[in-house]
């Protein structure tokens, strides 16, 4: 049986580009930056760096955008700041500049589960939120409300393992990794989640 194991070729950048007519942005939204302790801010920075590393495996890294990126974030970020896209203003303004009017917001509180039908949007948004104190409950939906107020259409989608968000890692970089496994390698959600557990 193991001889029949699926061979998974890594796509060349050209093949990838053909598969995805326009590469989406993966946005880490720092709307809730000021609600974090210094230690948590450090963790956000680390997870952004790790997200860049993951994206580099598939894309160029530029597709990683960090919005609401203030001077404190830039000074605390030890990754290659010049190789990602940082935007100091609101996420909605960034999207409008890029001509994107509909996004997928990764949200553990969403009703609908992320599926391949969602892979046609111009941007995926992950909350730049780290939970250590338990004081940031339901902060992700607020990011969606803020975008909708600014006229962006938001598909709120959750990632689940066997139907439940329990068991899904909530680190920013792991959420990104799960999406990439599904989108680029065609893995099922359960398989992708297992790989990042
Ligand atoms: N405290 C936040 C809340 O209650 O909304 C959760 C923050 S979580 C540590 C960081 C980000 O990872 C979220 O903003 C969301 O974008 C993403 N995320 C975490 N778990 C997820 C899941 N099961 N499905 C979709 N997105 C998830």
For position 57, what pLDDT does the model report? Answer: 87
Return mean pLDDT, the chain.
92
ipTM of the complex, rounded to two decimals:
0.99
Give the distance (Å) from ligand 1 centre to CA of residue 170: 6
Q: How far is the CA of 14 from the centre of ligand 1 (A)?
A: 32
**pLDDT at residue 2 is higher than 80:** no
> What's the pLDDT tens digit per position in 96-110?
999 999 999 999 999
Burial 90-128 (b: 16+ CB within 10 A, else e): bbbebbeeeebeebbbbbbebeeebeeebbebbbbbbbb
Nearest to 196 by CA among 188, 65, 181, 162: 181
Label each residue of 85-121 as H, E or C: EEECCCHHHHHHHCCCCEEEEECCCCCEECCHHHHHC
The C-alpha atoms of residue 105 and residue 127 are separated, in whole angstroms, by 8
Ligand 1 pocket mutation pick from 36, 106, 192 by most atoms within 8 angstroms of CB: 106
Q: Which of 32, 50, 66, 140 to mutate to test the pocket of ligand 1 (most atoms within 8 A of CB)?
A: 140
pLDDT at 20 over 80: no
With cut-offs at 50, 70 and 90, classify the pLDDT of residue 9.
Answer: low
Mutate to test the pocket of ligand 1, among 27, 50, 107, 157 (most ligand atoms within 8 A of CB): 107
What separation in Å is there between the alpha carbon of 71 and the centre of ligand 1? 24
Q: What is the pLDDT of residue 6?
A: 53
Rounded to an integer, what distance in angstroms lies between the CA atom of residue 166 and that of residue 32?
A: 23
Give the Å distance between the CA of 6 and the centre of ligand 1: 31
- Look at residue 66 in the predicted model and tell me its pLDDT: 98
The set of protein residues with a Cβ atom below 6 angstroms from ligand 1 is 106-109, 126-127, 129-131, 136-140, 158-159, 165, 168, 170, 172, 175
Q: Quote the CA–CA distance of 53 and 86 in Å, as a whole number.
A: 16
What is the per-residue pLDDT for 133?
Answer: 80
pLDDT level of residue 28 (50, 70, 90 thresholds): very high
State how far the Cα of 11 lies from the Cα of 24, in Å rounded to an integer: 17
**Interval 65-84: pLDDT, tens:** 999 999 999 999 999 999 99
What does the pLDDT read at residue 191?
97
């Amino acid at each position: 049986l193991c001889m029949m194991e699926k061979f998974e070729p890594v796509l060349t950048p050209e093949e990838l580009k053909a598969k995805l007519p326009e590469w989406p942005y993966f946005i880490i939204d720092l709307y809730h930056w000021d609600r974090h302790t210094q230690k948590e801010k450090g963790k956000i920075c680390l997870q952004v760096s790790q997200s860049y590393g993951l994206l580099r495996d598939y894309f160029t890294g530029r597709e990683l955008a960090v919005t609401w990126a203030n001077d404190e974030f830039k000074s605390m970020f030890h990754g290659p700041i010049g190789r990602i896209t940082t935007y100091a203003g609101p996420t909605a303004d960034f999207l409008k500049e890029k001509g994107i009017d509909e996004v997928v917001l990764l949200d553990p509180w969403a009703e609908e589960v992320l599926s391949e039908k969602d892979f046609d949007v111009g941007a995926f948004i992950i909350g730049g939120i780290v939970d250590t104190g338990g004081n940031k409950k339901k902060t992700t939906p607020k990011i969606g409300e803020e975008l909708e107020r600014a006229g962006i259409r938001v598909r709120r989608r959750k990632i689940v393992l066997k139907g439940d968000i329990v068991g899904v890692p909530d680190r920013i970089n792991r959420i990104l990794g799960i999406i990439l496994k599904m989108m680029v390698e065609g893995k099922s959600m359960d398989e992708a989640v297992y790989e990042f557990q």
